[in-house]
Amino acid sequence: MFNRKMITLAREARGLSQEQLSNMLHGITQATLSNFETGRLDLNEDSVSKIAHALNFPITLFKHEAQFNRISKFYYRKRSSFPAKEIVPLEAKIDIIRRAYSEFLRSIEFEFKELPKIPVSGKNNPEVIAKYIRLFLGLNEGPIDNPVSIIEKIGIPVLFLDVKSDKFSGMVVETDKNKPLIVINKNMPNDHKKFTLAHELGHLVMHNAFTEDPEFFERLEDRETVEKEADRFAGAFLIPAEQARYTFRPLTYSRLSDLKLHWKVSKQAIIYRAKDLGIIDDVKFKTLFIELSRFGERKKEKLEIQIDEPKLLKMIINAFEKHLGYTTKSLAENIAGLNESEFLDWFDIHRPGLKVVAKS
């Protein structure tokens, strides 16, 4: 039994139109391919084998039965200039990854601590919500050294994905069982990764209900509002207000490097946080950004901070191999629906251990 929707997904992951793919296939016209994708024609083994070969995916990918929303209904940080020809393949790639993660969870159990869902309303503004989440995660008022470990400790995997475009920062997606996965562009500076991770955490806490509204992301004003809320959450989560007021004053360009090393966030995040809290006015805000530009630090700052590496997904994969008898190749093809080399690349795999158990 083949899933016709996986043909569309696999084709989009390769950045191909129906016409381009049909030109690579012997005996399958664009019209036939279109009918396969829309369900007007039933799929057969021979046709799917040809499509799988042309797209360089194992045929097992097209047998995935899971049905859930396309990720365009979920949240991700990107620039408005991100062209569709880059967005569509990236979304499809991440969609395949989350489907693979969903398949992992059918056989592997690990501790998952449910995040509170706190919509922004009344006194529950992003500042207040971020403070509560820090308490929920057992954090003190100081800088956060290991943001990835903190999030993965409650059972939310983080994936540093190799995305060539600098227009994509990060994204949070959910499996068919509503288990979240946070995807971050691994090629960004570490301070950008850290802020994006906190931003996506804010979406998970504050905006989860909106993923059920298929019209929500068509409304630009709503998208802009939730992005601003997630940014404010990220700033408050990484730099608590009381400590910011104590450590920021006086805020000058010459102090930004020391503050960056202390708080382990970008200089830009510090400037925005100071403005959010009223520590600096609009004139000072603009002046500091002019200084950043003058010293060539708008795109990439000179000081690099450290960030911890994701482990949870890699340890889940390790558990399949150690406890369930899979080879990397069989896991890639039979569970994830990927060829081995792409599986290793997409999941950025290393080999730590994890205490997980196979479901009985």
Angstrom CA distances, 208 to 21, 120, 212, 357, stand at 36, 11, 8, 29
Among the listed residues 149, 174, 144, the one whose alpha carbon sits nearest the alpha carbon of residue 76: 174
**Hey, which residues does 161 pair with through a beta bridge?**
185
Does pLDDT of 148 surpass 60?
A: yes
First vs last C-alpha separation in the chain: 26
Convert the pLDDT of each residue in 177-215 to its tens digit. Answer: 889 999 999 999 999 999 999 999 999 999 875 555 555
**213-247: string of b/e by CB count within 10 Å (b at 16+)?**
eeeebeeeeeeeebbebbbbbbbbbbbbbeebeeb
- Cα separation, 290 vs 274, whole angstroms: 16
* Structural domains present in the chain: 1-65 (1.10.260.40), 311-358 (no CATH)
**pLDDT at 55 (0 to 100):** 98
Higher pLDDT pick, 157 / 164: 157
**pLDDT at 225 (0 to 100):** 86
How would residue 360 be classed by pLDDT, with cut points 50, 70 and 90?
very low
Does pLDDT of 77 surpass 70?
A: no
Mean predicted lDDT score pLDDT of the chain: 90
Residue 244's contacts (CB-CB under 8 Å, 6 or more residues apart) are 273, 274, 277, 279
Q: How many residues does the chain have?
A: 360
Convert the pLDDT of each residue in 175-184 to its tens digit. Answer: 878 899 999 9
348 burial (CB, 10 Å; 0-12 / 13-18 / 19+) is middle
Q: Are 43 and 34 in contact (CB under 8 A)?
A: no
DSSP 15: T
**pLDDT at 208 (0 to 100):** 74
| pTM recorded for the entire structure | 0.91
SS3 sequence of 37-93: HHCCCCCCHHHHHHHHHHHCCCHHHHHCCCCCCCHHHCEEEECCCCCHHHHHHHHHH
SS3 (DSSP) at 156: coil
